[in-house]
A and B are shown apart, each in its own frame.
Chain A
Amino acid sequence: DVKVTQSSRYLVKRTGEKVFLECVQDMDHENMFWYRQDPGLGLRLIYFSYDVKMKEKGDIPEGYSVSREKKERFSLILESASTNQTSMYLCASKDSVQAYEQYFGPGTRLTVT
């Protein structure tokens, strides 16, 4: 079974803090994704990576950056957290560009106060 893990289930940070969200997958997948999920909205893509050290902006990259130094790990960084970044953050991975299935982690619920 594919396993996607996220470093924290719940996180509370203060406005202006730098926040790191970590995601690790154990299936040697090439592609990894970061989404945020807000009530009444579908998942929105923040960034994705199709290879180590490669990254592409998604639909809402403003205020975020990412890092992929190793194939299994994809980090989402909030340089200066703001209250409007309070959300559920979901990481996902899939085998290749052609693969259909994305596998999701359990999510990190981030609250910025």
Chain B
Amino acid sequence: KNQVEQSPQSLIILEGKNCTLQCNYTVSPFSNLRWYKQDTGRGPVSLTIMTFSENTKSNGRYTATLDADTKQSSLHITASQLSDSASYICVVTGGGGYNKLIFGAGTRLAVHP
């Protein structure tokens, strides 16, 4: 069964600290993996996208890694800011026609001052 699992479900960190969010998937065939940021009451916004051959991608303070062999990805946030408080969603494309997206349930991050 095509699945994307994220951990932890929720996380609280202090402003300025780093954190790492995890994503494990069992999607086949695999096309690409994306991380989205979703602010409360808003639609998801893309942070990074990685294909099979890429193992790291950065977007400012956000760095995503991909290990296609173990089917794991991580999103590392450096020097967190209050505005990083959001849900982070891991999305894997594959598993069927029309580049079907398989969504993880997300990690809810709260950054406290």
Instruction: Give the chain A neighbours of B105 by CB distance below 8 A.
Output: 40-42
**What is the number of residues of chain B that contact chain A, defined by CB distance less than 8 Å?**
23
Q: Are A43 and B32 in contact (CB under 8 A)?
A: no
Which stretch of B64-72, B76-84, B96-104 is in the interface?
B96-104
Partner of A104, one of B43, B49, B98, B100: B43
Q: Total number of A-B contacts with CB less than 8 angstroms?
A: 49
CB distance from A22 to the nearest CB of B (A): 15
Which stretch of A11-19, A61-69, A73-81, A94-102 is in the interface?
A94-102
Q: Are B42 and A45 in contact (CB under 8 A)?
A: no
**Given A101-B49, A107-B43 in contact, is the A48-B98 Cβ separation under 8 Å?**
yes
Cβ-based interface call for A110 (8 A) = no
Which residues from chain A sit less than 8 Å from chain B, CB to CB? Answer: 4, 9, 31, 40-45, 48, 50, 56, 90, 92, 97-98, 100-102, 104-107, 109
Cβ-based interface call for B41 (8 A) = yes
Provide 24 A-B residue pairs closer than 8 Å at the C-beta atoms, listed in order of the A residue. Answer: A9-B41, A31-B98, A40-B9, A41-B105, A42-B102, A42-B104, A42-B105, A43-B44, A43-B89, A43-B101, A43-B103, A44-B103, A45-B100, A48-B98, A50-B98, A90-B43, A92-B43, A100-B32, A100-B34, A100-B49, A100-B93, A104-B43, A107-B41, A107-B43
Instruction: Give the chain A neighbours of B31 by CB distance below 8 A.
Output: 100
Dominant secondary structure at the A interface: loop
Which residues from chain B sit less than 8 Å from chain A, CB to CB? Answer: 4, 9, 31-32, 34, 41-46, 49, 89, 93, 98-106
Query: In whole angstroms, how far apart are the Cα atoms of A6 and B34 in the complex?
Result: 23
Q: Are B98 and A97 in contact (CB under 8 A)?
A: yes
CB distance from B97 to the nearest CB of A (A): 9
CB distance from A56 to the nearest CB of B (A): 7
Query: In whole angstroms, how far apart are the Cα atoms of A31 and B101 in the complex?
Result: 13
Query: In whole angstroms, how far apart are the Cα atoms of A101 and B32 in the complex?
Result: 10
